[in-house]
Structure 1
C-alpha cells in the first residue's frame, strides 16, 4: 500500500434539511447540482431524507451513516431521517456515538487526528415541529435528551450542534449572561468562569417562540453560542427556511463559546427552491491535520455507460420531444448562470434524464440477452461464426485488462509518466513571453460561437466512442442537436466569454491498453484518457478556428 501525507488546515462542516429525497417523483439524489452542493464538504449531514436504507444516498469518497425513521402507522409514509457523510480520509478521526433515537446523532472529532487541543463533539439534530403527531408521541423532548448529552460531553471536549431545530430565537436576544464577570468580586464566586462579552446576535427573523426561548436558555446554561448572525460570513442572521406561510431562521450552528475562536466563518448557502425549502448551512473550522492518503482511495472505477443500439436514436428523440423535457430546456436557456460548473451540470442533467427514459440496467440486460440469443442461433446454424463471435467477445473483454498490476502501481506510473526535468527559462524569455501575451496576435477566438460551427463539429463526431464521467455519448449529441443547439451555444459561449472551464470536462479516466511484452510491466500499456464528449465538441470548434485554411 502506498501512502502520502497531506496537511489540512480547514474542516468544512455542512448541514442541510432537504425536505425529502423525492419531490413529485423527482429524485434529488440523481441531480448533479444537488450532489455538487454537498460533496465539497468534509463532513455533511442531510436531514429529513424520508427514505429507506435501500434508497439512501451513496457518495464517492465518503463514508455514510444513515438513521432511518420507521414508516408512519397512519400514512405508511416515511418522515424524518438523517444521513451523515464523512470523507473517507477523515473517517479514522471520527467516532459515531450512541444516541437515544434517530432524530439526532453525535460524532466525536478526535483531537489527536485533527490537531486540536480538545475533542469536538458534533451533534446533528432534527427537532420536528412541536405540533406534529410524531413530537407528541415522543416519551422525552429532544432538547432535553440533547441537553443531557451536552452536560456529559462538555467535561471531555467542546460542543458543536447543527441542524433544523424548528426554534425561532429572535433578534438581539442574548444567549449569554451580560457582564457576569463582575461576579468574581463576590465571595464564593472566585472560581466562576464568566461569559465573554460577545457581539450581539442579529437575525432577519425577529420572532421569538417558546422553543426559541428554551434554546436560548440552553445556550446560557451550557456555555453555547448561536453562530447565526454573529460571526464572519453572516452578521445579519440570514433566513434559512422559505415556505408559503413565510420565511424564518430555524437552521442553526451552535458552538461552545471557547470553540468560536477556531471558527473561520459561518455561511447560509444559496436557496434552491426546487431542491428544498431550507438553505444549506456550513461552518469552516480551523484544524491542523496530517492525513495519510491511501493511493487506492484516489482511484475510481469508470462510470457506467449507456448502451446504444439501432432503436436508441428514435427513443432518444421521442424523449427529447416530451413536454416535460422541452420545458426544462426552455428553463435552462432562459436562466442566468454565474457558475460554469452548475451551468454544465444542469445541461448534463437534462441529457442524462432523457437517456434514463430507458435505464442503463435495462439496456445492458437487453444487450446481454441479444448477445446470448445471437450465440444460441449461431451455435446451431453457423458454428464458424459462433466461435468467431466468442473469440471477438473474449478479445474485447481482455484488451484493457491488467490483472497482474496493482492499482497503486498504475497510479504511480501514470502520475510520473510525464515528469521530466525542465530547464528554468531565463528572465528575458519570460519577460518577452509575458509581453506577447498582452499583444493581440490573432482574433480567431474573439467572437462568439455560432449555430453553423456547432452543427459542422457535431457532424464530424464518430459513433461508438466511450463516454466520460458525464456519461454523454456522441450519439446523444447528434440526436439532440436540433433540440439543444441553443443550449450548446449558451454553454460554449459562456466558457469563451468568462474563461472559466468546467471541472467535469477537465476530468478523465485512464484506460490502459496492452501493447506487447510482459503483462506485469505498466510500460507495456498505452494509456487512453477518456474525457467528456461535450468538452471535446467545444475543443473541436476552437481547434477548427485556429487551424489554417
Structure 2
C-alpha cells in the first residue's frame, strides 16, 4: 500500500496479489505516494505500475506524480518494459489518436466521445510519445482490438473514461485481453479494468502455421476455421440497459474506413461482441444453461422413438449422455464433400458473374436509409442463434440512433459497388436427420447460421425485392410466394 503521508485522509493505492503469486513478486517499491511498482518472476523484465493521480483541478494534485512516472521509465528504459494501470484521471477522448494513428496501431473506436483531452491526458500523451508507450484502451493492433468503455459514473450513469492502461509497444502482442467491468455491485464510482497477459514464450502453433505458408500466397493456404468462430453470447444473458449504455459511449471514426469496408465491418462486429461480453448479466448462470441444455437434448432424443437409445443414455442420476455421432452417421469429411457437390453444380459454374446493367430502378438501387435499417431490425427475433461472430441478433434492437446510422454507413459502401464481404459468406452448418438411411448424407438437411450483420443486410435486400416483385404478377409469377425472395438472396450471396 502507498499513500501520501501529508494527505493521509485523501486515500491511497493498494495492490492485491493472489496467494499463488505471492512468492513471485519482487522489487516492490512503495516509496512514491499513490504509486506501487513491482515485478513478477513469471514475466521477467516487465515492470508493473499501479498508480493514482488526482484530477488537475484537485487540491491534492501535483506534477510530481507524472514526474515520478517519467523517472521510473527513464530508470528502466534499457532493461525493462512497462505496464501502467490505474485511475490517472486522463480523459483522452479522440485525442488518444495523437499517440498513434497508423495502420499498425490505431484507435478506430473511442469509448469517450470528447474532442479535446483534459490536462492529465495531455501530459500522459507526451510521456507515451517520449517512451514508446501506447494506451491499451480502445487500441487496435495486429489481429487484436481492445474495446474499452466508460469507467467513471455520476449516480447511475457512466459519463467518461478516466481509468487507463498504458504499455510498452513491445508488450502489446503479449496482452491477450483488456476489459472494463461496469458494475453496480461495488461501492465506487469507477469501473474496474483488467488485462490478461501471456508469458513471454514462443507460440509454436503460430510458428508452424506461418511456416506452412512459406512458398505460397496465404490466401491459397489452409487456415483453422476455429479461429473464425467465437463463443456465442445468447441474448437472454445480456443486460439490455447495460448494453445500451455501453454501446452509446462507443464512437467509430467512419471517415477512416469508407475506402476499407472490410476493416469497418470487422471493427463493428468486434465492438458488438465485446460489449455483449462485458454486459452479461447474472441471469444466465452456468447451472441454468446446463439445465436448459439437458432439456434441449431430451427434446431431440425422444422424437426418434428409439427406446433402446433412451435407456442407454439415462444414467443413475436421471441425466443422460448422448454421443454426437453414432457408427452409422456420416463423417464430417463426407458431409463436406456432399454439400460441396450440391452447392457447386455445373449450372452454377455456367452463370455469368460479370453481368452489367445500366438500368436504374429507384426502389432497388437507392441508398440504404436509416429508416430501412430500423424497420428490418424491428422484425428481428432476438432469440435466434448466433453466427460465427458470436453476436446475438437481439443486440441490434438495443442500438441507439447513432449506431443505426453507423450500420447504414457500413451497408452503403457494400451495396453501391455491388460487393459482399467474403467473411459474411462463412456460416455455421448444422445437419438434421430427416428419414431413410443414416449413412447417406443426402438424408440430412443442412441448416446454416450466418453472422448477425450479414443477416440484417440480407433482410434489407430481401425487403426491396419483395416490394418490387409482387408474387402472382403475370403468368410466370403465379403460385410464387414471398419465401422465394429470401432464398434467391441467400443463394446469390452464398
Task: Specify the TM-score bucket, using the shorter chain as the normaliser.
Answer: 0.3 to 0.5
Bigger Cα Rg: 1
TM-score (norm 2): 0.45
Q: Higher relative CO (CA 8 A, sep ≥ 6), structure 1 or 2? A: 1
TM-score (norm 1): 0.41
